[in-house]
A and B are shown apart, each in its own frame.
Chain A
Amino acid sequence: MNRRINIIAAVALGLVAAVACAQAPQEDVSAAQAELDKAKQAQADTWAPNEFQAADQAMRAAQDEIQAQNAKWMKNYDKAKELLAKAKEEASKASQAAVASKEQAKKDAEAAIAASDTAIQTAEASLKVAPVTKDSKADLALYKSDIETLKGTLGQARQAFTSEDYKRALESASSVKDKATSIADKLEEAKKKRSGQAAKARKA
């Protein structure tokens, strides 16, 4: 009887010791932290803020949980491990989303700058061949000065692109393109009007 009691006590003591001496999941912490650092490097806080916040909050919750368990006599890190796995998974998603989102923004901005450049060149070409008359002289002078301003703004859009502010670069370049296209359209319209008048005069 005494022997049985001793065995039970020994097993119980062993179990208690195993639970009480459970180690914090340091490897899981490091793995999750590494994934989170990778997401930060990919600027996920800017380009995939929702995914990054989910990862960051899971990491914080995991750390809180580890601290709470560390303070207990009977430790259980299962929940902390779950949270760390979640943090790692979300951080990985955030990295991928950030890279994709940034790449797309870069492509869009690049395309907008190229389109804007073309629109300015078209406007300049139209301006060069525009007929100078008493009626058109003022407009032409204004367009020339406008095109110079547009070139300046496009330069700023390029600077924004270089500093990876793709959203600003896109918006700025698109607006410049609209203005340049509008100038080219007006010049084209004036040219057509002028050729119409010339044809009418020849008929008369």
Chain B
Amino acid sequence: MAAACLLAVACAQAPLADMETARAAMERAAAADGVARAPELCAAAHSALARAEAEVHVQSRRRFWSRDYTEAARLAYTARLAAEICAFRAAAVRARQRAGALSTVQDLETSIPRVADLARHARDEVVASDILNAEIALGEARSAVEKQQYERAREASKRGLAHLAEAVTDINRIIDDFNSGPRRIVWTKWVKATLDESARTGEAVILVDKLRRELHLFRRQEEIVSYPVDLGVAGVASKTHAGDDATPEGRYRITEIRGPGQTHYYRALMIDYPNAEDRSRFRRLKRVGQVSSDQEIGSLIEIHGQGGRSQDWTKGCVALDNDDMDDLVPKVHLGTAVTIVGTIPDETLP
């Protein structure tokens, strides 16, 4: 009789604790965006909770002696389990998505400077625009990460990486075109002649590779040192006239060495641009109308300091970092050969 009474009282209690736990779990699931991250589990939890609440309401409206919360207790327990599974799953998926998004964002973060560095060699507006779009996508991805919208962050990062892939394809195409162009024969001849001269005289010679943005110092066919350089704003383009901001290509000599105070650019090695060959080419270009008749050929091309900016910024000169100029100047003298080419063909090097 007593047991029957106890059972009756026990069964007359609404399963409030389980209901409360289930609701708390559903709030956690909602905070973890459970509907998007674990849709089926969260749908099952919502369904179970709704059924449990309905059963509790139905029982609570009955007269106290006829209330029976057995089914409500079963449903509440089911709802609690389903809600906790939904919350756990949503949090787990969120953690996985976060890790994936952060990894893709990091990929993009590390790839942008690499491609930007490579883009310097191609100097192309479409490439620059692709890189900027990748940077914008990176900004979007970072903002999405802050809002815990990891799928959006991943999508934005992937968009950024796609822009970079397009940029790299364009850079490769530009470099390939440059490497296989008709000027390659001339560059090969100049580089060989310059290295032969060094082998013959034992003197140091300078080779400037415009595409790689490098200045190499050779002596007797051996490379002594190389430095990164900045070029004219026009990048790898061939110089045709004064003010085109292009670095000329040709075989030159150092005609003057200027120290600190004698140049705006720390130290400078003046070269004999324009030489006879440049003048002849300039006349030809004017004759065929590629250069207008009022244009000048230009002058004052130097190898000077204040470079190291990882950017082409001069009016056609070759700029080195000041420390590199300090290192280079004692190794050369008046008359040292300076050969500037689009790129040094690999087969010409010893």
CB within 8 Å of B: which residues of A?
49-50, 52-54, 56-58, 60-61, 65, 78-79, 82-83, 86-87, 134-135, 137-139, 141-142, 145-146, 148-150, 152-153, 167-168, 170-172, 174-176, 178-179
Known: A57-B46, A83-B50, A146-B128. A137 touches B143 (CB 8 A): no
Q: Is the interface of A mostly helix, strand, loop or mixed?
A: helix
> By the criterion CB–CB under 8 Å, are A153 and B58 in contact?
no
One digit per residue, 1 when the CB lies within 8 angstroms of any chain A CB and 0 when it does not, for chain B 114-140 equals 000000000001001100110111111
Report chain A residues within 8 Å CB of B70: none
Least CB distance from A50 to B in Å reads 4
Q: Is the interface of B mostly helix, strand, loop or mixed?
A: helix
Least CB distance from A182 to B in Å reads 10
> By the criterion CB–CB under 8 Å, are A175 and B132 in contact?
no
Q: Which residue of A lies closest to B30 (CB)?
A: A50
User: How many chain B residues have a CB neighbour from A under 8 Å?
Assistant: 43
Report chain A residues within 8 Å CB of B30: 50
CA distance A152 to B156 in the complex (A): 17
Report chain B residues within 8 Å CB of A58: 46-47, 50
Report chain A residues within 8 Å CB of B212: none
> By the criterion CB–CB under 8 Å, are B128 and A142 in contact?
yes
Report chain B residues within 8 Å CB of A167: 149, 152
Report chain B residues within 8 Å CB of A86: 50, 53-54
> By the criterion CB–CB under 8 Å, are B35 and A82 in contact?
no
Q: B314 at interface (Cβ–Cβ under 8 A)? A: yes
Report chain B residues within 8 Å CB of A146: 128, 132
Known contacts A150-B136, A175-B143; can you find 19 more A-B pairs with CB under 8 A?
A52-B35, A53-B42, A53-B43, A54-B46, A54-B49, A58-B47, A86-B50, A134-B314, A134-B315, A135-B313, A137-B245, A139-B311, A141-B233, A146-B132, A150-B132, A152-B129, A168-B140, A172-B140, A174-B140
CA distance A139 to B138 in the complex (A): 22
Within 303-333 of B, Cβ neighbours of A (below 8 Å) are at: 311-315
Report chain B residues within 8 Å CB of A50: 29-30, 34-35
Q: B55 at interface (Cβ–Cβ under 8 A)? A: yes
> By the criterion CB–CB under 8 Å, are B311 and A61 in contact?
no
Within 233-249 of B, Cβ neighbours of A (below 8 Å) are at: 233, 245
> By the criterion CB–CB under 8 Å, are B50 and A54 in contact?
yes
